[in-house]
Amino acid sequence: MTTATISSKYQVVIPKGIRQQVRIRRGQVVQVIAKGGVISLVPDRPLSELRGLMRGAAAGEVREKDRL
């Protein structure tokens, strides 16, 4: 487990190994989410990175039948 320390200005440095693993770059915007006593940092990704994500999905099928 990797640890980080909160500075006197409430700043946290994300360790290098974690930055490389999730491909966070300097100046990148992250969403800060707090839920159940856990803080999560979720990197914003440009829409261009989502291209091809749903390739092969059938567009005509109903995903949730209770919404019919």
Q: Is residue 2 part of a domain?
A: no
pLDDT of residue 68: 57
State yes or no: pLDDT of 54 exceeds 90: no
The H-assigned helical ranges of 1-68 are 16-22
Q: Is residue 58 part of a domain?
A: no
> Which residue bears the tokens 């019919």?
68
Range of 36's domain? 11-44
pLDDT of residue 7: 96
The answer to whether the CB of 54 falls within 8 A of the CB of 42 is: no
Q: Is residue 15 part of a domain?
A: yes
Phi, psi of 66 (to 5 degrees): -70, -10
pLDDT of residue 49: 73
**pTM for the full model?**
0.59
Q: Is residue 64 part of a domain?
A: no
Task: Look over the chain and give the mean of its residue pLDDT values, rounded to a whole number.
Answer: 85
Domain count, the chain: 1
Q: State the amino acid at position 43 in one-letter form.
A: P
Which residues, at least 6 apart from 48, have a Cβ–Cβ distance to it below 8 Å? none
Report pLDDT digits (tens) over 30-45: 999 999 999 999 988 7
Q: Is residue 23 part of a domain?
A: yes
Which residues, at least 6 apart from 9, have a Cβ–Cβ distance to it below 8 Å? none
